[in-house]
């Protein structure tokens, strides 16, 4: 069995009891960054062996992992934070398990975009999860495509690109309401919703934007998603 186990996005109290139980009982934990995950595992007294599984080695180690799973070893997959497979490695391994008829169980748990969307106060009944925009090539055409989408849009963005991203939203999706959800579940959690130009002015006035960021873009006025 492969278990996909979400881990906290900032607050260790969000680790689920079932997640801890699974991480304790499996034969092996696959982690994106073993040093980052060691902190989490030590906190919960989990001594299960851990091995690196990330975007640079996932193709190479896939068949060995399937062999282990087919030899009846239970394995858990975690990422640095949140749910594996959501802007994190996971998809390739899960697909390979399905193809090899290995059972997969995905535990419900922390992920950044759900609390961001719900806290934003922007329409949450229908939405598009975009994740990270391309950094350079293809970024503008992606924003142009998103401009035609009539419901809320969720982006993951790094703090040092936040102002540039808001500038581009102001250009390609002018007048939209936007929410910047920063440092979710952490001590300095900060959720701000306003027009894109209001938020741009606010963040341009800050000396440095720190922490992790989810950006929600609301639907355009008069579109089906605008309530």
Q: 177 or 182: whose CB is closer to ligand SAM? A: 182
Does 88 engage in binding with ligand SAM (CB under 6 A)?
Answer: yes
Residue 79 tokens, joined: 């990422």
Beta carbon of residue 124, minimum distance to ligand SAM (angstroms, whole number): 16
Indicate which single residue of 70, 141, 158, 201 sits in contact with ligand SAM (rule: CB under 6 A). Answer: 158
Element (H, E) at 180: strand 177-182
Does 10 engage in binding with ligand SAM (CB under 6 A)?
Answer: yes
- 3 state DSSP class of 155: strand
Residues 8, 104: contact at Cβ < 8 Å?
no
Does 213 engage in binding with ligand SAM (CB under 6 A)?
Answer: yes
Does 183 engage in binding with ligand SAM (CB under 6 A)?
Answer: yes
48 conformational bin, left if phi > 0, alpha if psi -120 to 50, beta if neither = beta
Q: 1 or 129: whose CB is closer to ligand SAM? A: 129
C-alpha–C-alpha distance, residues 27 and 25, integer Å: 7
For residue 82, the 8-state DSSP code is: B
Q: 15 or 81: whose CB is closer to ligand SAM? A: 81
Does 212 engage in binding with ligand SAM (CB under 6 A)?
Answer: yes
Beta carbon of residue 40, minimum distance to ligand SAM (angstroms, whole number): 14
Residues 198, 204: contact at Cβ < 8 Å?
no
Beta carbon of residue 94, minimum distance to ligand SAM (angstroms, whole number): 14
């Amino acid at each position: 069995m492969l278990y996909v186990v979400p881990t906290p996005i900032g607050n260790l109290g969000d680790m689920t009891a079932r997640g801890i139980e699974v991480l304790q009982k499996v034969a092996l934990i696959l982690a994106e960054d073993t040093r980052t995950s060691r902190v989490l595992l030590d906190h919960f007294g989990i001594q299960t062996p851990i091995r690196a599984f990330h975007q640079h080695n996932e193709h190479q180690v896939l068949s060995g992992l399937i062999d282990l799973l087919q030899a009846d070893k239970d394995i858990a997959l975690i990422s640095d934070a949140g749910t594996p497979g959501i802007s994190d490695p996971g998809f390739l391994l899960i697909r390979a398990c399905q193809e090899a008829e290995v059972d997969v169980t995905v535990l419900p748990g922390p992920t950044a975009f759900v609390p961001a969307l719900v806290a934003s106060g922007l329409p949450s009944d229908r939405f598009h999860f975009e994740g990270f925009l391309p950094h350079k090539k293809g970024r503008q055409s992606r924003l142009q495509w998103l401009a035609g989408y009539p419901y809320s849009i969720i982006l993951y963005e790094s703090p040092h690109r936040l102002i540039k991203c808001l500038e581009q939203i102001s250009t390609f999706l002018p007048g939209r309401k936007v929410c910047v959800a920063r440092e979710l579940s952490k001590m300095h959690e900060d959720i701000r919703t306003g027009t894109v130009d209001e938020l741009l002015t606010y963040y341009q006035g800050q000396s440095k934007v720190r922490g992790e960021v989810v950006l929600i873009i609301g639907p355009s006025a008069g579109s089906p998603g605008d309530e």
